[in-house]
Amino acid sequence: MAKRKPVSIRDVARESNASLTTVSLVLNKRDGRISSATRERVLKAVDKLGYVPNRLAQSLQAQKSGFLAILVPELRHVFADPYFGELISAIEEAANEAGYKLLLEVAHKQDIEQKRHVELFQRRFVDGLLCLGSTNRDDFLGDFVGSDNAVIIVNNHLPALSLNSVMCDYRQAGVLAAEHLIDLGHKDIAYIHGAAEVQTASDLRESFEARLASSGIKMPKNHAADGLYTEAGGAAAAAQLLKTNPNITAIMAGNDKMAIGAIAGLKNAGLSVPKDVSVVGCDDLQPSLYSDPPLTTIHTPLDEVGHRACTAVLALFEGKQEHVTETLPVSLTLRNSTCGPRKIR
């Protein structure tokens, strides 16, 4: 149990009667000019002592840490949310392939006030930063505009700031959802939205309403309710919408969580989904498969978003790219929470 002190390159040099330089060259395979006899000696010593280079020292010297940070908003149990989880999983895969490690960073209010996020770079903590769940109110992101830090907004974009981003096409998502409901024959449609300060949430809603409008379907103000991005919020919103507008035959929700909540709310009110009211979600996360009924939803390729975002942030860091804005297409996943409208009266 004794804290035995770690082996350094110095020890290897001593053990093998070579210089630090020689050992380093051998270990980094830049040993074109090292005789194979010396190489052997060095390697034997490395093996005998169980030497492994100190990563901190390497990073210090190389001026790069090999870390990428993932910044997530400060929400209760944020990592338990499959939306973030799926993105993180995808990012991890890509990072691992590229030999990078992932650092978790939660945007605690304090940290942001003290500009800790900028320090991440200044202090050489990380080589790049991936921002998940950003909102238009996160003005600390402005600190990165025009800086040479490798920062990317994942699955969102901030119109006010010119920042790099990789995201799904939420405008297309709105159109697809709207067309699906139109095709089924719905005319009385309600909307449960997430936070307005999330740009993609606005994109989704706007394009959804626009597409309905272009087919002559209007959505009055009271056909929309805030679902707070949670199941409970979705349930409450559904209940409220139902009370105000008993005639609605379909509900579109800004994400799967709210859609699942809405289904619970509707059932609670004695209605059947989809017979009485159809429900469409957005994201196509795992839970939508096991909701009852399984959720018809817009599939957003989060896996690919995560992968590309990670690749992009590395490209930025390495200076291979100056600016990134990618938008990936989405699709409709048909399950059982939608059908034609019930006959009213």
Partner DNA sequence: ACGGACAGATAAATCCTTTTACTTCCTAGA
Partner DNA sequence: TCTAGGAAGTAAAAGGATTTATCTGTCCGT
Helix (H) or strand (E) holding 250: strand 250-253
Assigned token pair, 284: 């196509």
Assigned token pair, 274: 């989809």
Collapsed DSSP state (helix, strand, coil) of residue 138:
coil
Assigned token pair, 69: 């940070």
Nearer to a second copy, 223 or 267 (CB): 267
Q: What are the φ/ψ torsions at residue 283 (nearest 5 degrees)?
A: 135, -45
Q: Name which of residues 86 to 145 contact a second copy (CB under 8 A).
A: 86, 88-89, 92, 96, 101-106, 108, 119, 122-125
Q: Name which of residues 52 to 81 contact a second copy (CB under 8 A).
A: 52-57, 59-60, 65, 67, 76-81
CB 265 within 8 A of CB 238: yes
State yes or no: residue 28 binds DNA (CB under 7 A): yes
CB 44 within 8 A of CB 17: no
Nearer to a second copy, 79 or 329 (CB): 79
Least Cβ distance, residue 200 to a second copy (angstroms): 19
- Measured over the CA atoms of residue 323, residue 331, residue 137 and residue 116, the dihedral's sign is negative
Q: From the CB of residue 15, how many other CB atoms can be counted at a distance below 10 Å?
A: 18
State yes or no: residue 272 binds a second copy (CB under 8 A): no
Out of 40, 44, 47, 54, the residue judged to bind DNA by CB under 7 A: 54
Least Cβ distance, residue 139 to a second copy (angstroms): 19
CB 9 within 8 A of CB 51: yes
Q: Name which of residues 17 to 46 contact a second copy (CB under 8 A).
A: none
CB 179 within 8 A of CB 331: no
Least Cβ distance, residue 56 to a second copy (angstroms): 4
Nearer to a second copy, 192 or 264 (CB): 264
Give residues in contact with a second copy (CB under 8 A).
1-4, 6, 50, 52-57, 59-60, 65, 67, 76-82, 84-86, 88-89, 92, 96, 101-106, 108, 119, 122-125, 146, 148, 231, 260-261, 263-264, 267, 285-287, 289-292, 322
